[in-house]
Structure 1
């Protein structure tokens, strides 16, 4: 089983794509913003860190 990936700030990324159910990967991580992308269908998810 794969270990969940972590962002630069140490948050765990454990999400599945809404369309196909594949686990998404971190595409871009700038600390306060994180973009996740599905490797199967290419759907992107953007997350922002609230302070």
Structure 2
């Protein structure tokens, strides 16, 4: 790993292997937002449609 300073900002250079490894670790830690059941999704979409319709 190499450290660089350009215009008072610090940067780190990584090999492509290390970069891909970091991306993989980050992707494994990522959790999707709560998913809706079919009924919840229908109710939520109807709510949003009603909000959008009332704006016009």
Higher-RCO chain (CA-CA 8 Å, sequence separation at least 6): 1
Higher strand share: 1
User: Higher Cα Rg: structure 1 or 2?
Assistant: 2
Higher helix share: 2
Q: TM-score, normalised by structure 2?
A: 0.21
Q: TM-score, normalised by structure 1?
A: 0.22
